Every structure is written in structure tokens, then in C-alpha cells.
Amino acid sequence: MKISMDIELQDIPGQLVLALEPVSDFGGNILSVLHQRDKKTPSGRIPVQFVFELEEKRLDRVVERLKERGVKVVRIGKERLKESMVVLLIGHIMHSDVRDTIDSIDSTGFAEVVGLSVSMPGVAKKSSASVTLSAIGKKELEEALQILKRTVNKKGILIITPI
């Protein structure tokens, strides 16, 4: 089963590994991780979103292990996002606040950026990114794509979508 999880970590070294190990320990496969260390919650913790595959019967044990390690589990979504697509972005992606771009999708409640891979050849050069969008249905995925197009167009970033 595919699981999307939001957690909060203490702001000390090694916490991300500490949080991801239980997924691996129970036979899970981590698909994506969004870790923005410079964005903190009101309690001073670091928010992390990750998506992984795991047998449903093992999820409770993973959550229990996370809590034992001091990880605050904020949200768990099981197979909520059923439709996905990959788009390519080309431009000054990192300099145009990639978090804002991701938030434009994640804040919808019906779609999320579940994968992001960026290639940056140099500080002043354009970068490229592969972005995986997932949504609860086909209509919502198309709406998320339109939101992403509007967001990146304002930033002068080229978007390449599947045919």
C-alpha cells in the first residue's frame, strides 16, 4: 500500500535518518521525501513529508516505532492519491522559491508533489527538475497541473507536460 505521511522532527542532527529507518526496518520502500530544514513549525520542529510503500499490517508498528523515537506523526494518508504524472521544469527553479511552487499544489488538499529531482549545473545557470504530482482522481490531477502551470509561468519557468 502507498502511504503519505507528515511528521515533525526535532531540530538536531540525525533526526531524518532516525525517522526513515523504521520504514526500511519493516520492509517499506521510500518513494519521496520533502525535508525543508529552514521551515519550522510553531513548536520549533522541522516538518517532513514522505511517501512510501508498505504492507498495511506493518503500518501500526512503523508509527509506534516513530513515536518511540520522538517523532511527531501529524498525518497519515493511505492510498489517497491514486493518479500521478511527471512533469519537467526548466528555469531558475531554486531561486524562484521551490517551496512556494510545491505549496501551491500541496495546499489544495486533493493533490501533492510526491517527488522532486533537481539538477543544478551552476548558481547562475538554469536548472531542471522532474516533478511527480499525485492526486485523488484524474480531474483533480488536471486541476493540480493547471495550478502548477500558473505558478511556474509567473516565475518564468518552462513546464513540459506529458502528451
Architecture of domain 2-78: 2-Layer Sandwich (3.30)
**Which pLDDT belongs to residue 122?**
85
pLDDT, tens digit, for every residue of 17-64? 999 999 999 999 998 888 877 788 888 899 998 889 899 899 999 999
The 10 Å CB-count burial string (b at 16+, else e) for 66-94 is beeeebbeeeeeeeebebebebebebebe
Tell me yes or no: is domain 83-160 CATH 3.30.70.260: yes
Q: Tens digits of per-residue pLDDT, 138-156?
A: 999 999 999 999 999 999 9
Total-model pTM: 0.54
